[in-house]
């Protein structure tokens, strides 16, 4: 009994709400998904930040989007070196097995990972320095943006948040399966940026790299 009661109460309450609300309304959909499998058309690469959940932002239903979340929504370059690659394996599965038609890299305002790239800690959070090594993917761009003295700290954060989205999209194209499908017009790559404070979504122009608010 002790093990059960130690489970976070808020999650149990949320599950009870789900069982009594959303589950009955979508019971048939869950059964279909269980029997037929998932067939999402869009994959979203988002940040782990608890304030920027893609499923909520885009008001999706179960089975509609395939979501990968990591620190600062980064996509590393293609590197088949035999090591463990969580992000790359999720991309491989989404593209090769699920055959998604869209990949969206979605960054967000006030990203802690981006802030860490701009302001590296003197000491790592742990001996493994996993976040430090992960954010080193953005170190060159971070050094450039950090040197912009006429920008405020918030402006530098926003700039690197959006640069990182373009960077990740460039890295997506280093994956042969993604580049081939994009060239054939069977896969589209998109960038988006979400402002937590205002709820505004900004979408990247694929030709210029500029961000603007879409017309709804």
pLDDT tens series, the chain, 216 aa:
455 568 999 999 999 999 999 999 999 999 999 999 999 999 999 999 999 999 999 999 999 999 999 999 999 999 999 888 999 999 999 999 999 999 999 999 999 999 999 988 878 899 999 999 999 999 999 999 999 999 999 999 999 999 999 999 999 999 999 999 999 999 999 999 999 999 999 999 999 999 999 998
CATH 3.30.70.2860 fits 38-212, yes or no: no
Residue appearing with tokens 């463990």? 84
- Residue 192: phi and psi, rounded to 5, are -150, 155
CA distances from 8 to 11, 12, 13, 14, 15 (A): 5, 7, 9, 10, 11
What global pTM score does this model have? 0.93
75's tokens: 């996509």
* Rg from Cα positions in the chain: 19
Predicted pLDDT of residue 123? 87
Q: Whole-angstrom Cα distance, residue 64 to residue 55?
A: 9
> What are the two backbone dihedrals, phi and then psi, of residue 186, each rounded to the nearest 5 degrees?
-100, -5
What is the spatial order of strands in the sheet that 201-204 belongs to?
Answer: 65-70, 42-47, 102-108, 188-194, 201-204, 211-212
Contact by Cβ (8 Å): 132, 124: yes
Q: What is the pLDDT of residue 121?
A: 81
The candidate with the shortest Cα–Cα distance to 98, out of 159, 149, 151, 37, is 37
pLDDT score at 216? 85
Task: Give me the half-sphere count of Cα atoms (radius 13 Å) on the Cβ side of residue 164.
Answer: 36
Q: Residues 192, 195, 200, CA angle at the centre, nearest 5°? A: 80
Residue spans of the domains in the chain: they are 1-37, 38-212
Comparing CA positions, the residue from 73, 79, 77, 16 lying closest to residue 48 is: 73
Q: What is the per-residue pLDDT for 5?
A: 65
């Amino acid at each position: 009994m002790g093990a059960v009661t130690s489970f976070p109460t808020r999650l149990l309450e949320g599950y009870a709400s789900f069982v009594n609300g959303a589950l009955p309304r979508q019971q048939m959909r869950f059964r279909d998904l269980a029997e037929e499998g998932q067939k999402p058309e869009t994959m979203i690469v988002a940040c782990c930040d608890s304030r920027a959940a893609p499923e909520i932002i885009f008001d999706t239903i179960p089975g509609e989007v395939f979501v990968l979340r990591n620190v600062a929504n980064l996509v590393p370059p293609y590197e088949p070196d035999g090591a463990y690659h969580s992000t790359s394996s999720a991309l491989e599965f989404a593209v090769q097995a699920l055959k998604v038609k869209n990949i969206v890299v979605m960054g967000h305002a006030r990203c802690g990972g981006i802030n860490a790239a701009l302001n590296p800690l003197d000491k790592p959070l742990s001996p493994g320095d996993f976040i430090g090594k992960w954010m080193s993917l953005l170190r060159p761009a971070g050094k450039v943006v950090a040197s912009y003295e006429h920008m405020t700290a918030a402006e530098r954060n926003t700039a690197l948040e959006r640069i990182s989205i373009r960077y990740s999209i460039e890295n997506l194209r280093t994956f042969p399966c993604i580049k081939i499908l994009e060239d054939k017009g069977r896969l589209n790559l998109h960038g988006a940026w979400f402002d937590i404070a205002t709820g505004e979504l900004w979408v990247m122009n694929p030709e210029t790299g500029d961000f603007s608010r879409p017309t709804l």
